[in-house]
A and B are shown apart, each in its own frame.
Chain A
Amino acid sequence: MRDETFSAESAWGNTVTISSTDSYFLESESGKGKSTFSAYIIGLRNDYSGSITLDGQNQKEITLDEWSELRKNKLAFLAQDMRLFPNMTVLENLIIKNKLTDFKTETEFTKMLQKLEIDHKLTQLAGTLSLGQQQRVALVRALLQPFELLLMDEPFSHIDQQNITRALTMITTECSQQKSGYILTTLGADYGIKTNKQIKL
């Protein structure tokens, strides 16, 4: 990315402040670093120059145990490639996340799956689901924790508009309940949502 050129408004090379009470829309072309941006915030990578701080703490100085705590209680993440356990069922994939904080009951997350029309796949192995089905399961999984910021990297690339609408309703409801914000990255589509702020790359 060092060799890429970015516009003057790009977050790369500028200072960007993200507040956990706001919602952000991060739209950019392919290859401009949307997933990289997410990876830096969630702590998967730290190969950058410059500075990233989370709650005032330098991202590069956060220990592994501190990252675990952040990912458990403050930062929820929905990866572009979903990252479900393919050899576990949908139910097991959700339980393994929910077990960390017991944030929701089984009844609650089953209802969430119902809203996204995926509840009938509860006992199916995640690796056998379609990409769209995997994205919906991954979204529910991301919401099974307390968070101050929900980070979603191209979360609707394989979902139809109707389910997108339902998903967005679920997300905004959850964020409202937790008084949290989110960052949603996309290639271009805005899905008809109104976010407070925009980040450009």
Chain B
Amino acid sequence: MIGKAIQRTQKTIILILSILGAVIGLSLLLVVTQTYTNLNLVKQGDSGAINSQYLVLKKKISASATLGFGSSTFNKEEYNDIKNQSFVKDIAPFKSGRNFQVFVEVDLNTRQSGSSLGFIESLPDHFIDVQAENWKWSNGDEFIPIIMPTSFLDMYNFGLAETMNTPKISKEMAGMLIVKIRIRGNNKQGIYYGHIVEFSDRINSALVPISYLDYLNDKYGSGTEQDPGKIIIATENTKNPKISKYIVDNGLETNQEQLRGSVIEKLIQPILTFTGILCVIIISLTLIIFVLYGEILIIKSKFDIHVLSLLGYRWKDISKVFNIYFLKIYAVITVVSLTIFFITQSIINGIIKESLIYDDLPFISGKTLVAMNIFLILFIAINILNTRKYIKQIATPK
């Protein structure tokens, strides 16, 4: 009954504009938060098997090294010098095959297959971020777990697949492929089969368990063990300026620039940050508009509120009517915003999946839900407090 007296005083156009502002603000907030979360996942998950706090160091290939002057490997002194740096928490050399040939063949579909001369390396198990049961090999095992460089997938998807007009492969699909490995060395050859268990863009060769590489070196290898051409270091902060200085001073390089994480960090995240700031501005303005709308509604209903109070209605019960009305508006805003969010997010996830080859993206994360709840709680709380304040003022003896 109280609602009847109030509803007749509100202007529909102001209400629609207020709702529109709130829908834009909330939808943008949800999309920005979720996209930010998803891109962080891609950035962190990029390393796949190798944590983002690990850096792979190698020497820059100079002309003199090619001509036999200078070395492209790390000798013992160089290795120890890196090990002793303050930014190095842990260090290990990439172990490689000793003078045997590796041919890798993959069946891409029933009519196509790809093969190439490849090379394999390994790292100590504690640098590999794959579940222990998936990263082990002993002689006699049917399949060898393999970590492939992401560039392998990119090369196929953005090179071969487009040229040959064949479907692109996702990381999950690649995991189902059987990799045929032919080893030839020391007057012996052998055929082995492997599964791709993870991808990483911190490597440019296939990684296998150290037990498998030791086995291959024993059986097919010859010559002595060489100095490592690549080293992996664990560090607390890959952006530590001491690292970049050491790299420059010692003629080293990492493949950090090729990381998807770098692209995301340098290009996409600043855009998202800017959009996020815009979002905060829109939400702030929308909040002000809604507060003003609520105040206008109450001021226009001042006579009715006063009479209700005079008749014996408690000011809190009068406030409740307004607050229920506002809650219905917020319910509409939430439903419309979530609908826009789900549609937009499915498009964005599709783009990320397509361009960054990353499948496992959540539709809505905990952070997005928290952001939405903070938005709603803020709006509702401010409106409720404001409503109560003004209605109490009207009901209070002058």
Contacts and interface: CB of A to CB of B under 8 A. Distances in A.
B395 interface: yes
B302 interface: no
Interface residues of A, number: 28
A95 to B, nearest CB: 7
Contacts of A47: 398
B312 A72 contact: yes
A46 B310 contact: no
Given A44-B398, A97-B311, A85 B304 contact: yes
Chain B's interface size range is: 20 to 34
Interface stretch (A63-71, A158-166, A185-193): A63-71
Among A79, A84, A87, find the residue whose CB has the most chain B CB atoms closer than 10 A.
A87
Interface in A46-74: 46-47, 64-65, 67-69, 71-73
B11 to A, nearest CB: 15
Contacts of A84: 307
Contacts, number: 63
Contact of B309 (A45, A68, A88, A145): A68
A77 interface: yes
A65 B314 contact: yes
B310 A83 contact: yes
Contacts of A132: none
A137 B64 CA distance: 107
B335 to A, nearest CB: 30
A146 B395 CA distance: 22
A45 B316 CA distance: 20
Nearest to A86: B303
B310 A77 contact: yes
A85 B219 CA distance: 99
Contact of A71 (B5, B303, B306, B310): B310
Listed residue (B8, B303, B309, B311) with the most chain A CB atoms within 10 angstroms of its CB: B311
Given A68-B315, A83-B306, 8 more contacts: A43-B397, A46-B398, A64-B315, A65-B314, A68-B313, A72-B312, A87-B5, A145-B312
24 contacts: A44-B397, A64-B392, A67-B395, A68-B309, A68-B313, A68-B314, A71-B310, A72-B311, A83-B307, A84-B307, A85-B5, A85-B304, A87-B5, A88-B4, A88-B5, A92-B1, A92-B4, A96-B2, A96-B5, A96-B308, A97-B312, A99-B1, A100-B312, A145-B312
Interface of B: 1-2, 4-5, 8, 303-304, 306-316, 392, 395-398
